[in-house]
């Protein structure tokens, strides 16, 4: 009897919750009036029963263009809301991706403000981000829970860093390519390694030492650094000045 009562209570709770949830069909997206006559900024609002669920300041938008799309980017069976919020190709963000969870509308936890997107085979979605003057590509895998599984971006003129990640965020593989040719970076001259950009170690690499580049960073003075992996007597992950490394 108690077991039956528990099942009934759970069922009632589930149906009550489902009844309170809203769907994409229940909302409307509206491009509201500009803040001022001379302003290019427009409020892009999402409504449910005249209540604003989400608001975003869009730039240089056109009421005659469809600025909203619906697509299941994370393969969970529910479509995301994709707002086009900027029509200027030189700006960093072109789309905002929103996820509707019952009656809450929030930015997608994996990718929110993006430059573009592409749905791939095998439950993968490629997201494009503007990174300075170049485009960074991040591919998310959704065979189980969603996670960043691939990342590609330019680190120098004509050179691209391609990385593969595990589900827990560890780098499985990292290589430099020029076109489709895989390169093996090596150290040009004796160069000291750094724990961080401002903390030098007493360790160094010598000319010809082969390294894998895991990441890059430009410091406050405009100097470029590589975070490298070196496999010698022991494996080392540390920073090195980029001009000490030959990418070819």
* Pairing state between β 95-101 and 80-84: antiparallel
Where do the domains of the chain lie?
21-109, 184-246
CA trace torsion 118, 119, 124, 129 (10° rounding)? 20
pLDDT in tens, 85-127: 888 888 899 999 999 998 889 999 999 999 999 999 999 999 9
* Gap between the Cα atoms of 176 and 181, Å rounded: 8
Q: Quick one: tokens of 145?
A: 């829970």
Say what the pLDDT of residue 248 is: 85
Q: Residue 131's pLDDT is what? A: 82
Write out the two tokens for 218: 């430009």
The length of the chain in residues reads 248
- Taking only the tens place, the pLDDT of each residue in 184-215 is 999 999 999 999 999 999 999 999 999 999 99
Beta pairing partners, 246: 186
Q: What are the structure tokens assigned to 121, written together? A: 């085979």
Q: Does 13 score more than 80 pLDDT?
A: no
Tokens coding 68: 């909203």
Q: In degrees to the nearest 10, what's the CA dihedral of 47, 48, 54, 59? A: -20
pLDDT at 11: 41
For residue range 57-77, what is the model confidence (pLDDT) as tens digits? 888 676 666 788 999 999 999
pTM of the predicted model, to two decimals? 0.82
Coil, strand or helix at 8: helix
Three-state DSSP at 157 gives: coil
Q: Give the pair of three-digit tokens for residue 244.
A: 């000490």
Residues 6+ apart with CB under 8 A from 141: 122, 123, 124, 147, 149, 150
């Amino acid at each position: 009897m108690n077991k039956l009562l528990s099942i009934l209570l759970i069922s009632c709770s589930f149906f009550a919750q489902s009844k309170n949830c809203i769907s994409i069909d229940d909302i409307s997206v509206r491009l509201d009036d500009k803040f001022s006559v001379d302003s290019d900024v427009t409020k892009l609002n999402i409504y449910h029963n005249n209540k604003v669920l989400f608001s975003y300041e869009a730039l240089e938008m056109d009421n005659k263009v469809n600025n909203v799309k619906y697509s299941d980017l994370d393969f969970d069976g529910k479509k995301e809301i994709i707002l086009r919020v900027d029509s200027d190709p030189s700006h960093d963000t072109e789309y905002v991706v929103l996820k509707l969870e019952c009656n809450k509308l929030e930015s997608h936890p994996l990718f929110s403000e993006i430059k573009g997107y592409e749905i791939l085979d095998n439950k993968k979605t490629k997201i494009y981000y503007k990174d300075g003057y170049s485009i960074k590509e991040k591919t998310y895998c959704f065979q189980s829970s969603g996670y960043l599984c691939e990342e590609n971006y330019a680190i120098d003129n004509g050179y691209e860093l391609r990385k593969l990640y595990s589900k827990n965020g560890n780098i499985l593989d990292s290589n430099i390519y020029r076109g489709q040719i895989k390169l093996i970076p090596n150290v040009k001259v004796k160069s000291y390694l750094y724990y961080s950009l401002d903390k030098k170690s007493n360790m160094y690499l010598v000319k010809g030492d082969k390294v894998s580049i895991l990441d890059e960073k430009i410091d406050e003075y405009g100097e470029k650094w590589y975070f490298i992996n070196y496999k010698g007597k022991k494996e080392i992950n540390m920073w090195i000045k980029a001009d000490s490394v030959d990418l070819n």
